[in-house]
Amino acid sequence: MLDDLVSRPVSGGIRLLQPREAAELPDDGPVEWAPLAPYWAVLWRSGVALAEEIHTAELAGTRVAELGCGLAVPSVVAASKGARVLATDACEEALEVVCRNARANGVKIDTLRVDWSAPDELVRRATFDLVLAADVLYERSSVAPLLELLPRLAERAWIADPGRPAAAAFLAGANRRGWTAATAHRGVVQIHRICTTPDNRV
């Protein structure tokens, strides 16, 4: 798969390398569709929407981590805005493509292989100002690990989601914990700006 990558424009002048077999799978159908290609290889509309949101933000000098980065469009854009970025994913192939995408766009991105069930190495690096995640709530089993992980990493998180049922469960859990959230819309994608401490702004 990594031997057959294609380049395509995304947003903000970014060009993205992507496995050819996944490039023919645009994410424009019902939110519950399951691609034949690995999840990480698909250009999810949530990732593009989150990248567009990031493009309007002031991130120079901030420390940013992306969870479940896949092709890492948000990470590339954040790095282009001057952020120091760590892109994480459970799949080693995804991280190899992230490194290629960083080089192709002239930015620096560090990578780390992370399984949410064993995030100790990521938590040890947790000096982040902002956590990013796009369409990581594809499955309901991701809700509890994400709720546990976020406050260990940063006070702020931007979570992009196209309205999957698991996202509603995540927001309900965040509310029970006293977190605050402000939601913006980019097309069908909802971008939840979350704060895990009550005295800070989202």
**Dihedral angle sign, alpha carbons of residues 148, 139, 51, 53:** negative
pLDDT of residue 15 exceeding 60, the answer is yes
pLDDT, residue 29, reads 66
CA 122 from centroid of its chain's CA atoms: 15
Six token digits for residue 168: 């509603």
pLDDT, residue 31, reads 64
- Contact yes or no for 37/25 (Cβ under 8 A): yes
pLDDT of residue 195 exceeding 90, the answer is yes
Which secondary structure element, helix H or strand E, spans residue 97, and what is its range? helix 92-104
> pLDDT tens digit string along 84-128?
999 999 999 999 999 999 999 999 999 999 999 899 999 998 889
Lowest mean pLDDT among 13-22, 71-80, 134-143, 172-181: 13-22
Domains and CATH numbers, the chain: 41-195 (3.40.50.150)
Q: What whole-number percentage of the chain has pLDDT above 70?
A: 90
pLDDT of residue 147 exceeding 60, the answer is yes
CB burial readout 113-136, b (16+ within 10 A) else e:
ebebeebeebeeebebebbbbbbb
Distance set, CA 32 to CA 21, 115, 154 (Å) = 20, 23, 29
Distance CA 100, CA 19 (A): 12
Confidence band of 138 (pLDDT split at 50, 70, 90): confident
What is the residue whose two structure tokens read 């914990």? Answer: 177
CB-based contacts of 4: which residues, under 8 Å, 6+ apart? 19, 20, 21
pLDDT of residue 201 exceeding 80, the answer is no
In 3D space, the residue among 139, 130, 144 whose CA is nearest the CA of residue 172 turns out to be 144
What is the mean predicted confidence (pLDDT) over 130-159? 95
Distance set, CA 151 to CA 35, 128, 139, 156 (Å) = 31, 11, 20, 8
The pTM score is 0.92
Distance CA 69, CA 191 (A): 16
Confidence band of 39 (pLDDT split at 50, 70, 90): confident
Confidence band of 3 (pLDDT split at 50, 70, 90): confident
